[in-house]
A and B are shown apart, each in its own frame.
Chain A
Amino acid sequence: MKHKVATTVNGRRHEHEVEPRLLLVHHLRDNLGLTGTHIGCDTSQCGACTILVDGKAVKSCTMFAVQAEGKSLTTIEGMAKDGQLHPIQQAFWDEHGLQCGYCTPGFIMAAAYLLEQNPNPTEDEIRKGLEGNLCRCTGYVNIIKAVQTAAKTMSTAPARKTTVTAGGN
Chain B
Amino acid sequence: MAVTQLVGAKIHRREDPRLITGHGHYIDDFTRQGTAYAAFVRSPFAHARIKSIDITDASKAPGVTSVYTARDFKSQLAGTHPAAPAFVAEKKYIPERFPIAEKEVCYQGEIVAAVLAETRGQAVDGANLIQVDYEELPAVMDTEKAMAKGSPLAHEGAADNISWDLTYTGAEVSDAAFKEADVVVKERILQNRLAPIPMEPRGVLAEYETYDKKLTIWMSSQNPHFIRLFVSGAMGLKESQVRVISPDVGGGFGSKISPYPEDYLVPALSRLSERPVKWTETRTESIQNATHGRGQYYDVEVAAKKDGTLLGMRMTQYLDVGAYVGTFSAFQACACLMAGGAYKWKGISARTIGILTNRVPTDPYRGAGRPEATHLVERMVDLVALELKMDPVEIRRKNFIQPKEFPYTQNFGLVIDSGDYEKALEVALKMVGYEDLRKKQAELRKQGRYLGIGFSTWIELCGFGPSAATAPATGGIALVESAQVRVTPTGSVIVYTGTHSHGQGHETTFSQIVADQLGVPYDSVELRHGDTSEGTAFGYGTYGSRSLAVGGVAISMAAGKVIDKGKKLAAHMLEAAEEDVVYENGSFHVKGSPDKAKAFGEVAFASYGMGLPEGMEQGLEAVAYFDPPNLVWPFGTHIAVVEVDAETGAVQLQKYVAVDDCGNIINPMIVDGQIHGGVAQAIGQALYEEVVYDDETGQLKTGTMIDYMVPSMGEIPTLNLDHTITPSPTNDLGVKGIGEAGTIAASAAVINAICDALSPLGIKHVDMPASPDRLWHMMKGAGK
What is the 8 Å Cβ interface bit string for chain A, positions 86-127, against chain B (1 contact, 0 not)? 000100111010111111110010000000000000010011
Binds B, one of A30-38, A63-71, A155-163: A30-38
- Nearest CB on A from B777, distance (A): 27
What is the 8 Å Cβ interface bit string for chain A, positions 116-157, against chain B (1 contact, 0 not)? 000000010011101111111111111110000000000000
A42 at the interface (CB under 8 A from B): yes
Q: B676 near A38 (CB under 8 angstroms)?
A: no
What's the Cα separation between A3 and B258 when bound, in Å?
A: 43
Residues of B within 8 A of A96 (CB): 12-13, 669-670, 672-673
Q: B716 near A141 (CB under 8 angstroms)?
A: yes
A24 at the interface (CB under 8 A from B): no
Q: A40 near B201 (CB under 8 angstroms)?
A: yes
Residues of B within 8 A of A138 (CB): 673, 676-677, 680
A39 at the interface (CB under 8 A from B): yes
- The residue in chain B whose Cβ has the minimal distance to the Cβ of A77 is B22
Known: A96-B13, A134-B705. A101 touches B24 (CB 8 A): yes
Q: A99 near B673 (CB under 8 angstroms)?
A: yes
B446 at the interface (CB under 8 A from A): no
Residues of A within 8 A of B670 (CB): 96
A53 at the interface (CB under 8 A from B): no
What's the Cα separation between A80 and B712 when bound, in Å?
A: 27
Residues of B within 8 A of A101 (CB): 15-16, 19-20, 24, 248, 250, 503
Residues of B within 8 A of A34 (CB): 22
- The residue in chain A whose Cβ has the minimal distance to the Cβ of B667 is A96
Residues of A within 8 A of B12 (CB): 93-94, 96
B710 at the interface (CB under 8 A from A): yes
What is the 8 Å Cβ interface bit string for chain B, positions 708-725, against chain A (1 contact, 0 not)? 001011101011000000
B121 at the interface (CB under 8 A from A): yes
What's the Cα separation between A92 and B16 when bound, in Å?
A: 9
What's the Cα separation between A39 and B285 when bound, in Å?
A: 14
Known: A41-B704, A100-B250, A126-B713. A135 touches B21 (CB 8 A): no
B1 at the interface (CB under 8 A from A): no
Residues of A within 8 A of B253 (CB): 136
What's the Cα separation between A35 and B503 when bound, in Å?
A: 18
A48 at the interface (CB under 8 A from B): yes
Residues of B within 8 A of A35 (CB): 22, 26, 28-29
What's the Cα separation between A89 and B23 when bound, in Å?
A: 13
- Nearest CB on A from B775, distance (A): 23
What's the Cα separation between A35 and B280 when bound, in Å?
A: 14
B282 at the interface (CB under 8 A from A): yes
What's the Cα separation between A137 and B29 when bound, in Å?
A: 21
Residues of B within 8 A of A29 (CB): 28-29
Q: A100 near B251 (CB under 8 angstroms)?
A: yes
What's the Cα separation between A108 and B21 when bound, in Å?
A: 9
Residues of A within 8 A of B22 (CB): 34-37, 75-77, 79, 105
B679 at the interface (CB under 8 A from A): yes
- The residue in chain A whose Cβ has the minimal distance to the Cβ of B707 is A43
Q: B681 near A141 (CB under 8 angstroms)?
A: no
- Nearest CB on A from B687, distance (A): 14
Residues of A within 8 A of B669 (CB): 96
Contact for A100 among B20, B282, B502, B706, CB less than 8 A: B502
Known: A35-B29, A142-B676. A46 touches B713 (CB 8 A): no
Residues of A within 8 A of B249 (CB): 100
Q: B19 near A104 (CB under 8 angstroms)?
A: yes
Q: B197 near A136 (CB under 8 angstroms)?
A: yes
- Nearest CB on A from B708, distance (A): 9
What's the Cα separation between A126 and B712 when bound, in Å?
A: 12
- The residue in chain A whose Cβ has the minimal distance to the Cβ of B670 is A96
Q: Which of B13-41 contact A (CB under 8 A)?
A: 13, 15-17, 19-24, 26, 28-29
Q: B250 near A141 (CB under 8 angstroms)?
A: no
Residues of B within 8 A of A132 (CB): 712
B283 at the interface (CB under 8 A from A): yes
A54 at the interface (CB under 8 A from B): no
- Nearest CB on A from B144, distance (A): 31
Contact for A85 among B21, B29, B199, B673, CB less than 8 A: B21
Q: A137 near B677 (CB under 8 angstroms)?
A: yes
Residues of B within 8 A of A79 (CB): 21-22
- Nearest CB on B from A111, distance (A): 11
The CB with the most chain B CB atoms within 10 A, among A39, A130, A139, is that of A139
Q: B713 near A19 (CB under 8 angstroms)?
A: no
What's the Cα separation between A44 and B740 when bound, in Å?
A: 29
The CB with the most chain A CB atoms within 10 A, among B12, B19, B28, is that of B19
Residues of A at the B interface (CB closer than 8 Å) are 19, 21-22, 29, 34-43, 45-46, 48, 75-77, 79-80, 85, 89, 92-94, 96, 98-105, 108, 123, 126-128, 130-144
**Lowest 4 A-B CB distances belong to which pairs?**
A36-B22, A102-B250, A101-B19, A139-B680
Q: List 16 A-B contacts (CB under 8 A).
A: A36-B23, A43-B704, A92-B16, A92-B20, A93-B13, A100-B502, A101-B250, A102-B26, A102-B250, A105-B20, A131-B714, A132-B712, A135-B199, A136-B198, A139-B680, A142-B673
Since A40-B250, A43-B283, A136-B253 are in contact, a sample of 13 more A-B pairs with Cβ atoms closer than 8 Å, ordered by chain A residue number, is A36-B21, A40-B199, A45-B705, A76-B22, A79-B22, A85-B17, A100-B251, A134-B199, A137-B199, A138-B673, A139-B680, A141-B676, A141-B718
